[in-house]
């Protein structure tokens, strides 16, 4: 038996397009349902609040820090390690009353220093984001995502025949909803870094899809035999090595970022991992399959012959 090679494959991908479509529609319904029912776990970048980073002289367990803060009246605080086991990041939601923003970091630091094992705790930084600023970030972030999608819509409308354009748009919307729905379903904090990752996923998804659809358009014009499904499968197989290698290298980089980039990069890394995997899938089973379902044919992609003087009656 010969060895399997990504450069010489003959896989009938579109054979499972119906099953893939059913799976995608089901997952997207779950994602949309989660967004409507559970909403997003917005970070302090969007909701407002106080972020406090403290440093211990020795490694400190997070449960002990939470217990100390709860006794001091900060039971709603979110705590996690930040970089090393000696650095602790504390997130406190907005609180009512005057003067809280100015004194909150000092109150938290005093509570930690007064607890057992808290001697030597120092304040590394304290940042406050007001609710109004957070609301503006939500609106601007949403407009940024919509603007990116609108720009892509215009691009593919001029770049491709309308059936391929609809497939590209469907794949992009699919990837965005899947990624955002993932954060909603598992209530992973959604902050500015995650929003940046979603915008990156949009670009990655379109880039991967355009490569596949360009080859489909090329093969439709070049090959005179074969059904639409056969030509699409051929095109997907011809670009498979490029798709897998690009996805693998990008995914490897993001996985390394997830494990070694610290807590700040976790949300960004998760969004990119989900986006890369689903973006690779959608290039095959959403973009291509959508165009096939819309009845694309060779005649739709052949260059239009210009009328000459000899052709006129």
> Looking at residue 176, which CATH number applies to its domain?
1.20.1640.10
Specify if 310 maps to a domain: no
Give the pLDDT score at 105: 82
Give the pLDDT score at 254: 94
Specify if 2 maps to a domain: no
Give the pLDDT score at 205: 87
Percentage of the chain exceeding pLDDT 90: 22
Residue ending a domain, choose from 87, 105, 129: 129
Residues 171 and 23 in one domain: yes
Query: pLDDT tens across 39-83, in order?
Result: 888 877 777 788 888 889 888 888 888 888 888 888 878 787 777
Give the pLDDT score at 1: 41
Residues 206 and 253 in one domain: yes
Residues 241 and 257 in one domain: yes
Give the pLDDT score at 199: 86
Taking the C-alpha atoms of residue 187 and residue 81, their distance in angstroms, rounded to an integer, is: 19
Give the pLDDT score at 92: 84
Specify if 111 maps to a domain: yes
Residue 97, pLDDT above cutoff 90: no
Residue 31, pLDDT above cutoff 90: yes
Residues 96 and 144 in one domain: no
Give the pLDDT score at 252: 94
Residue 183, pLDDT above cutoff 60: yes
Percentage of the chain exceeding pLDDT 70: 88
Residues 278 and 209 in one domain: yes
Give the pLDDT score at 303: 62
Give the pLDDT score at 6: 57
Residues 21 and 60 in one domain: no
Residue ending a domain, choose from 96, 129, 162: 129
Between 226 and 7, the more confident residue is 226
Give the pLDDT score at 5: 55
Residue ending a domain, choose from 113, 129, 145: 129
Residues 23 and 76 in one domain: no
> Looking at residue 69, which CATH number applies to its domain?
3.30.70.3400
Greatest extent of the chain over all pairs of C-alpha atoms, in Å: 98
Residues 80 and 210 in one domain: no
Residue 56 belongs to domain spanning: 49-129
Residues 20 and 92 in one domain: no
Name the domain count of the chain.
Answer: 2
Specify if 307 maps to a domain: no
Give the pLDDT score at 126: 83
Specify if 35 maps to a domain: yes
Average pLDDT over residues 204-231: 86
Query: pLDDT tens across 240-288, in order?
Result: 888 889 899 999 999 999 988 777 788 999 999 999 999 999 988 999 8
Residue 103, pLDDT above cutoff 80: no
Average pLDDT over residues 171-175: 91
Give the pLDDT score at 98: 43
Residues 196 and 117 in one domain: no
Specify if 306 maps to a domain: no
Global confidence as pTM: 0.78
Residues 53 and 195 in one domain: no
Specify if 17 maps to a domain: yes
Residues 206 and 102 in one domain: no
Specify if 309 maps to a domain: no
């Amino acid at each position: 038996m010969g060895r399997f090679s990504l450069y010489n494959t003959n896989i009938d991908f579109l054979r499972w397009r119906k099953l893939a479509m059913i799976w995608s529609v089901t997952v997207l319904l779950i994602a949309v349902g989660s967004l409507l029912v559970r909403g997003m776990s917005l970070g302090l970048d969007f909701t407002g609040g106080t972020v406090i980073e403290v440093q211990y002289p020795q490694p400190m367990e997070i449960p002990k820090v939470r217990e100390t803060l709860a006794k001091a009246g900060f039971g709603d605080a979110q705590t996690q390690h930040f970089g090393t086991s000696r650095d602790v990041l504390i997130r406190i939601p907005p609180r009512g009353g005057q003067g809280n923003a100015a004194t909150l970091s000092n109150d938290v630091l005093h509570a930690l220093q007064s607890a057992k094992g808290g001697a030597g705790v120092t304040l590394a930084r304290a940042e406050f984001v007001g609710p109004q600023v957070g609301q503006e970030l939500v609106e601007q972030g949403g407009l940024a995502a919509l603007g990116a999608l609108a720009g892509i819509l215009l691009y593919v409308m001029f770049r491709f025949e309308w059936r391929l354009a609809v497939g590209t748009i469907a794949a992009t919307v699919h990837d965005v909803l899947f990624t955002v729905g993932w954060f909603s379903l598992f209530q992973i904090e959604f902050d500015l870094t995650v929003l940046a990752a979603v915008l990156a996923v949009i670009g990655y998804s379109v880039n991967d899809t355009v490569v596949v659809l360009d080859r489909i358009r090329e093969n439709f014009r070049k090959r005179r035999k074969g059904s639409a499904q056969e030509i699409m499968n051929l095109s997907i197989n011809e670009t498979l090595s490029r798709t897998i290698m690009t996805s693998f290298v990008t995914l490897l980089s993001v996985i390394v970022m997830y494990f070694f980039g610290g807590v700040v990069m976790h949300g960004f890394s998760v969004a990119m991992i989900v986006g890369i995997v689903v973006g690779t899938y959608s290039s095959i089973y959403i973009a291509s399959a959508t165009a096939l379902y819309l009845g694309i044919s060779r005649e739709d992609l052949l260059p239009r012959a210009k009328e000459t003087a000899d052709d006129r009656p």
